[in-house]
Structure 1
């Protein structure tokens, strides 16, 4: 294996305009290594092509569908894929983006996701504080930055007193709480929110909370890079008030654009602040309140961060090399387990 290129099937399809930039940059970084061939996902490729490793990011995507029929078809195809991975002993590498399974999944989906978990040979964590199952093999590879991705995209002048939020809008991201807390701020403050809500009901709730306050600007829908950069760089402070935050691409996007962030206080975010600079990562305990927002705005006004956040540990060249190293390790682990299983069977049936 060390003498030839390793072939890796990723769980994402060929990137499109709306694809998460992390996925695009990861594919570019892996291909740039020269000793790995990266295949993007299609069911034909997954079920018929030869590959050494299957790298899965968000396994729930494989068992979901826009309609019940599409979801059932995907679940049947996922079952075939699981059988192929098990029979051919193809190691599974999983990047642990989220700690919990998504809400609303049914028993069949939960079963299939559990099978993926049991087949996983190696987990990639995006920070060293990610909890793992007992005995799980894992390696930490930090989430790369977005500086190269946003290079050349026009930036806006910072608006004093401006708070900004960008990204997908889901219930757990607590945008409703941000709007409610903002409304108590002085009149010279403003709030700009941009992103695609997960449901029409959520969009309606946020719109109702913002009604009558002309300082609040709402832009619902997919954000282009230009729109995201405009929101982030116009903000004096980017606020990401998630109720649960473990790995946040939005935080790294803001830092990559040299904007300070306000995020919940936890072990992961304290470690991030120590890494990039405390002045860039402001944190709050408990619930987001008007007092929290006011204090954070006063802090960035009176003691603004200087220079740039230190993102040197998140260069994509290193990220790509570390992924290829993880794939080779997964192949070695799978080989060792296969030999151990074969040896155990020989002992079992020897007389």
Structure 2
């Protein structure tokens, strides 16, 4: 039986900024039952593939200029027509509930058309909604231990709290900085903020807090993998104060490197707490406060440390589950 040919909706350049893409592709290629190709418009229209696997669909409907955005919308519509005419199976991984940024007029209609044409949906948790006509497969987000290598687990004596990732307004970094500055029990701690901001990410309040509190140490740039891994391992707690959290690769990265996390309380993070334990997955209700932050740190100081088991997030198992989905998508 020949391998199933799969065209991903992500370009190869995504491997430089998104480790999830690299880890998934590597696992699928090592499996041997799938041939994976990255997206390009020539490959999409003239390539031979059995399944089109969509990740972050807005990536193919947008572009850096007005002309490229308009062209991408037209090409996306034509591609959907090609997929229908050739009866190519469409698989969609639902990473987010909605795109992080709004798109052009007409984009929503095109994305809805792709949704209607998708028969196989992959969600990373059991709470992500999918269209009633689609078949759901829950395939969890894999661990990062094959990409980020560290010599030892995090130290229980660290006095560093860490936020890492893109600095966007919805991620609540200004709320974290406020809570940290107001937490009198954390005078001996420092807060590191690592990540490249978008235009909305650094609010006037965040700038003021950074200027007023020397314990807040920002590094507003893209952080190389080795530096990021070291920063996570050297931290007592990773704090992700998102105002809305769904799937989060940052949570899995911190846990992969044996570092506890503090995240908002919702059904998905409660599942993570049940999976990995309340000792390493700490939850805060509503918006992060200084009391919530102080309580999480105090609980860590009282608890013993044990390495975090990530067997449930093994990439070989994840690849095997993807192959099953591709076979179903290619069978109609």
> TM-score with structure 2 length normalisation?
0.94
Q: 2:101 matched to 1:120?
A: no
Q: How does 1:216-255 map to 2 (within 5 A)?
A: 216-255=216-255
User: What SS does the aligned partner of 2:309 have?
Assistant: coil
**Separation (CA, whole Å) in 1 of partners of 2:323 and 2:45:** 22
Q: Check whether the contact 1:164–1:238 (CA below 8 A) recurs between aligned residues.
A: yes
**Separation (CA, whole Å) in 2 of partners of 1:239 and 1:218:** 14
Match of 1:24 among 22, 25, 28: 22
Residues 1:167 and 1:115: Cα distance change in structure 2 (over 3 Å):
same
Which residue in 2 is equivalent to 1:293?
A: 293
Q: 2:94 matched to 1:96?
A: yes
Q: Which runs of 5+ in 1 are unaligned?
A: 336-351
* Cα-to-partner distance string for 1:178-202 (whole Å, 9 max, x where unaligned): 0111111232121000011121x43
**Separation (CA, whole Å) in 2 of partners of 1:114 and 1:208:** 42
* Cα-to-partner distance string for 1:212-233 (whole Å, 9 max, x where unaligned): 2100000011111122113212
Which residue in 2 is equivalent to 1:55?
A: 53
Superposition deviation, residue 243 in structure 1: 1.0
Residues 1:17 and 1:37: Cα distance change in structure 2 (over 3 Å):
closer
Q: Check whether the contact 2:162–2:239 (CA below 8 A) recurs between aligned residues.
A: yes
Which residue in 1 is equivalent to 2:330?
A: 331
Q: Check whether the contact 1:142–1:314 (CA below 8 A) recurs between aligned residues.
A: yes
Which residue in 2 is equivalent to 1:135?
A: 133
Q: Check whether the contact 2:162–2:235 (CA below 8 A) recurs between aligned residues.
A: yes
Residues 1:27 and 1:15: Cα distance change in structure 2 (over 3 Å):
farther
Match of 1:171 among 144, 169, 172: 169
Which residue in 2 is equivalent to 1:184?
A: 182
Q: Check whether the contact 2:150–2:229 (CA below 8 A) recurs between aligned residues.
A: no
Larger mean CA deviation between 149-158 and 190-199 belongs to 149-158
Match of 1:78 among 73, 76, 79: 76
In terms of Rg, which structure is larger?
1
Which residue in 1 is equivalent to 2:32?
A: 34
Which residue in 1 is equivalent to 2:313?
A: 314
Q: Check whether the contact 2:29–2:35 (CA below 8 A) recurs between aligned residues.
A: yes
What is the count of residue pairs matched by the alignment?
Answer: 329
**Separation (CA, whole Å) in 1 of partners of 2:257 and 2:309:** 12
Superposition deviation, residue 17 in structure 1: 6.2
Q: Check whether the contact 2:5–2:35 (CA below 8 A) recurs between aligned residues.
A: yes
Residues 1:208 and 1:159: Cα distance change in structure 2 (over 3 Å):
farther
Residues 1:159 and 1:69: Cα distance change in structure 2 (over 3 Å):
farther
Taking only aligned residues, the RMSD between alpha carbons, in angstroms, comes to 1.8
Q: Check whether the contact 1:144–1:319 (CA below 8 A) recurs between aligned residues.
A: yes
